[in-house]
């Protein structure tokens, strides 16, 4: 049975009607038109669909709407501010850290959560923070360099 849910995504409140066990990922992509969050494994294992929920990375494919309602949700579209890319996004471009790019939004989300709580991470901090994100193109080393570059730009 459909219920009404209030979601706050990237600072914007929306109301939508869906069954309470609908995955947040479908609401983001299909109802709110936020296509940056990807469907990968669909079972919480790959990180392609990560979003921030109250500041922590979580799989949108494995988060039902009832659990997302009332929380602060940030997708990759919400990382930049005022039309500017987030420093992580600049650094990913500079380091050419994406190949196919399918995993990239989830990795940016994990990296943003890391830098928010640890502005000067070591390489092993970055590797640990990205541990739940798979990249089948094997771009991890460039991504780690990009995260370290962004950290330096934010907090030299
Ligand atoms: S699609 Fe959600 S973790 Fe893989
Ligand atoms: S860049 Fe292709 S899956 Fe990561």
Distance CA 82, CA 80 (A): 7
Among 93, 103, 109, say which to mutate for ligand 2: greatest number of ligand atoms within 8 Å of CB: 103
Whether 49 lines ligand 1, by a CB cut-off of 6 Å, is: yes
Using a 6 Å cutoff on CB, does residue 107 contact ligand 1?
Answer: no
Q: Does residue 20 carry a pLDDT above 90?
A: no
Mean pLDDT over 49-60 rounds to 98
pTM summary value: 0.97
Query: What is the mean predicted confidence (pLDDT) over 112-136?
Result: 98
How much of the chain exceeds pLDDT 70, in percent?
Answer: 100
Nearest to 145 by CA among 80, 97, 103, 87: 97
Which residue minimizes the CA distance to atom 3 of ligand 1?
Answer: 44
Do you know the residue count of the chain? 156
Set out the domains of the chain in order of their start, with CATH numbers.
2-78 (3.10.20.30), 87-154 (1.10.150.120)
Q: Band the pLDDT of 156: cuts 50, 70, 90.
A: confident
CA–CA separation, 88 and 115 (whole Å): 9
């Amino acid at each position: 049975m459909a219920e009404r849910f209030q979601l706050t995504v990237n600072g914007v409140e929306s109301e939508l009607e869906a069954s309470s066990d609908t995955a947040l990922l479908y609401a983001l992509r299909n109802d709110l038109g936020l296509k940056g969050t990807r469907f990968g494994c669909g079972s919480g294992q790959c990180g392609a669909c990560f979003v921030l929920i109250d500041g922590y990375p979580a799989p949108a494919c494995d988060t039902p709407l009832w659990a997302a309602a009332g929380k602060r949700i940030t997708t990759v579209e919400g990382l930049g501010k005022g039309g500017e890319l987030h420093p992580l996004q600049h650094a990913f471009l500079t380091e050419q850290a994406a190949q196919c790019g399918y995993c990239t939004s989830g990795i940016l989300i994990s990296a943003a959560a890391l830098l928010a709580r640890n502005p000067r991470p070591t390489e092993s901090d970055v590797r640990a923070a990205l541990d739940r994100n798979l990249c089948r193109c094997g771009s991890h080393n460039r991504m780690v360099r990009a995260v370290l570059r962004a950290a330096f730009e934010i907090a030299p």
